[in-house]
A and B are shown apart, each in its own frame.
Chain A
Amino acid sequence: MTASDDPRHRFEELWDTQHAAVLAYALRRTDPDTARDVVAEAFTAAWRRIDDVPEQARLWMLGLARGALSNIRRADRRRAALAEQIATTVARDGSVESLGLAEAIRDLSDRDAEALLLVAWDGLSHAEAARVVGCTTATFTVRVHRARRRLAALLGRPTTTPVVPEGSE
């Protein structure tokens, strides 16, 4: 058995290369204690399925982390909604702009907040984010566009200028 065939070796490699990404993903969405639980649960799932790790391991791991976070949230109904959690994080610096942004984020759905976060904080392309949430790129693109527009509306400014001929009245 070569090193690359050894499941333990592959898991250690996965841990070394993906731990920071998974921990960052979790810390952006929850408190440090819960983030630790998310990391543990995501890597436990990865260990159980070490034979299934795809080439794009990062997206797969973020998908597992997302599932782990969802499980934890479902198990603890007292936990604040994701959008609320994000809003709290955003408002941390206390600036007027941040407080306004946080206020707007509170009114987003969790799905909208998650779509925006995958792009803005996790730095994923639409195609990558779509793999994490398990939908097509087109669907995710629509989702993030609508989320962005809703956030812009909540902030009181549009994101795009309509493409429309003038003088159509």
Chain B
Amino acid sequence: MTDPTQLLAARNPVSEDTLRDRGAAPEGVRMRDEIMARNPRVARPQRRRVHIGGIIGGAAAVGAAALVGALFVMTGPQDEPPPSGAIPEGGWGMEATVRVEPSPGGLSLEDASERAAAIIEARGESRGMDNVQADVLAPGFVRVTVPWAQFESQFAPLLLGSPRVAIYDLDRVTLANSATDPARALRVLRGRPGTARSGEWYAISGSQLVAGPLSAPTGGRRLWAWVEARSGVVAARARSGTSFRVLRDTPVADSIDITSIEESTGRIRAVLGRSVVASRPALVVSEPFAIGYGPSIVASGRSSSRPVATANFALGGGRRVPEWAISVGGLDAVLQQASVRGIGTPPQRGGRRIPTPKRLRLVVRTGLDPLDAPGAFREGSVRLVASGSGGFRAWEFETTTARLVASAGGNVFAYGMCALGPTAPVIEKCFGAAAFVFGPVAPGVRTVIVSGSDGTRVARMRPRNGWFSATIPAAQTGGGVEVVALDASGAEIGRR
């Protein structure tokens, strides 16, 4: 992948070396001498005398500036956000005004606002919301436009604080190890007895988010585990294989700044703002960007020295740390959503509108993690969107804060495998009960191809009512299942 700056650099029209002699040429010397001859120099400024009038005038000016500032604050974006500059891509979405409050003694309001805008866009990208646009309205205010967003909760991941580095002493805090005791490790992960249930859940992985479908070897067979968000533990996945550790969430130190990062392909070396004493092996966890709810960890590594002053991180799958993040560092500011409004009208999805199934209502009312569905069931919103063999059915519905999909198959009723949008609605992918994969597609999608985690084709189908669905063989389940959307000409127009 070519950096566009390199393309630009290759077309540099002027080499400085070719101009070396121009200043000493007769024309150059003539210009130089004329400049000196025709223009008076400005004397170095003397220390100014203080005049009372100047003080009063200065105070008045400051007062006027403060008044203007106060007027802006009183009538500014937090009360009535200015209208959107443009309809977001896709024709509908949401627009929020975000207030930026830099940490005391930290960045200027201007710099904090610029940085917040960049970080919000980066977070959008990292969540697959790559059309999020953040612009500085005025110092302290950023406007965020999220195409295809329908709910305020969809802004939440963009407005998290900016976490830094935490260091765990593996010898002291390991609760379970899947290599030696996979069943216990899974029990811990699932929040069964022995694990704290409050606070935040951490999921660490070089390649897979643990707070999702997890497969782990258990006595020669693969166990399909849905790991719910629980807390007080950290799941640290090994770089290779499927083993992982579950740690008590008690870092030796956290909130450590990264002062500099050197990156080569797949590897980064971070210099920490302060060194921490920890016995080896230590786990150093970095969260350059908050992804998802709570601190989702995107890189991990072991300390390279003792005490820990630097950390070597491995980034799998060709991932890179965006260049700006290396020198910009954390946000160092608090972001608050000052206002939000919808733009345009979301299109109706396919499927058949049905009365709310009793069990679905029960699950929504009683069984949901508030992070997934923080809101009340929206009556009349249920649509049966997919059905298949083995009694598989999938419903799309809304709460007051999210658009969700539930599915059932056989004796299993699974919920919350898919919170829809805000992403480009060409095709979306949900996993359902009885090893089904399904999701909504845009009207232009004529064919959907499903490939298993090993790359083999599982299914090719024509969507119905704006949705596709396919059964995944047990051996093909996992995070690697891929769906590709083709248009009428057979060209790929979307991939998940």
A-B contact pairs, 15 of them (CB 8 A): A8-B36, A20-B16, A20-B20, A24-B15, A89-B13, A101-B11, A144-B324, A155-B4, A158-B1, A163-B320, A163-B321, A165-B298, A166-B317, A169-B431, A169-B496
Taking chain A's interface residues, is the majority helix, strand, or loop, or is none over half, making it mixed? Answer: helix
Are B478 and A167 closer than 8 Å at their CB atoms? yes
A120 touches B5 (CB 8 A): yes
B4 near A168: Cβ-Cβ < 8 Å: no
Question: Inside 8 A of B318's CB, which chain A residues have their CB?
Answer: 161
Q: Which of A7-59 contact B (CB under 8 A)?
A: 7-8, 11-12, 15-16, 19-21, 23-24, 27-28, 36, 39-40, 43-44, 47-52
Q: Are B22 and A23 in contact (CB under 8 A)?
A: yes
In the complex, are the beta carbons of A145 and B323 less than 8 A apart? yes
Q: Are B479 and A166 in contact (CB under 8 A)?
A: yes
- Is B185 interfacial (CB 8 A cutoff)? no
A151 at the interface (CB under 8 A from B): yes
Pick the contact of B11: A90, A139, A145, A155 (CB < 8 A): A90
Q: Which residues of A contact B24 (CB under 8 A)?
A: 16
Taking beta carbons and an 8 Å cutoff, which residues of B are in contact with A? 1-9, 11-17, 19-20, 22-24, 28, 31-32, 35-36, 39-44, 107-108, 110-111, 114-115, 117-118, 121, 125-128, 130, 203, 205, 207-209, 212-213, 288-289, 291-292, 296, 298-299, 315, 317-324, 327-329, 418, 429-431, 478-480, 496
Which of A12, A120, A142, A161 makes the CB contact (< 8 A) with B9? A120
> Which of A64-72, A73-81, A91-99 participates in binding chain B?
A91-99
Does B22 contact A157, Cβ atoms closer than 8 Å? no
CB-CB nearest in chain B for A93: B11
The 8 Å CB contact of B118, one of A8, A51, A89, A142, is A142
**The one of B42, B315, B322 that contacts A145, using a Cβ cutoff of 8 Å:** B322
Contact of A163 with B322 in the complex, beta carbons under 8 Å: yes
A93 to B289, CA, bound (A): 41
Cβ-defined partner of B32 (8 Å) among A7, A43, A151 = A43
**CB-CB < 8 A to B31: which residues of A?**
36, 39-40, 43
Known: A52-B44, A101-B8, A105-B8. 10 other contacts (CB 8 A): A47-B35, A98-B11, A145-B322, A146-B324, A155-B7, A159-B1, A162-B128, A165-B205, A166-B317, A167-B479
Q: Which one, B8, B212, B320, contacts A90 given CB within 8 A?
A: B8
Which chain B residue has the least Cβ–Cβ distance from A42?
B35
Residue of A nearest to B1 (CB): A157
Decide if A116 is an interface residue (CB 8 Å cutoff). yes
- Knowing A23-B19, A120-B9, A142-B328, say if A163 contacts B289 (CB, 8 Å): yes
Q: Does A3 contact B (CB under 8 A)?
A: no
- Whether A160 sits at the interface, judged by CB under 8 Å, is yes
Q: How far is the CA of A136 from the CA of B115 in the complex (A)?
A: 11
Say whether A151 contacts B4, CB under 8 Å. Answer: yes
Contacting residues, chain B, for A1 (C-beta < 8 A): none
Residues B478 and A24 in contact, CB atoms below 8 Å apart: no
CB pair B324 A44 closer than 8 Å? no
List the A side residues contacting B288 at CB < 8 Å: 163
Minimum-distance CB pairs A-B, first 9: A167-B479, A19-B23, A145-B324, A165-B209, A142-B118, A120-B8, A120-B9, A20-B19, A24-B16
- Chain B residues near A116 (CB, 8 Å)? 4-5, 8
CB neighbours (8 Å) of A93 from chain B are 11
Task: Tell me the complex Cα distance, A152–B8, Å.
Answer: 11
The 8 Å CB contact of B209, one of A51, A126, A139, A168, is A168
Q: Roughly how many angstroms separate A145 CA and B324 CA in the complex, as a whole number? A: 6
Q: Return chain A residues, CB-CB under 8 Å to B213.
A: 167
* Inter-chain contact B125/A162, CB cutoff 8 Å: yes
Contact B7 A97 (CB under 8 A): yes
Q: Which residues of A (75-132) have their CB < 8 Å from a CB of B?
A: 89-90, 92-93, 97-98, 101, 104-105, 116-117, 119-121, 126
Q: For residue B329, which residues in chain A have a CB less than 8 angstroms away from its CB?
A: 138
Chain B residues whose CB sits within 8 angstroms of the CB of A157 once the complex forms: 1-2
With A139-B111, A163-B315 already in contact, the answer to whether A148 and B5 are too (CB < 8 A) is yes
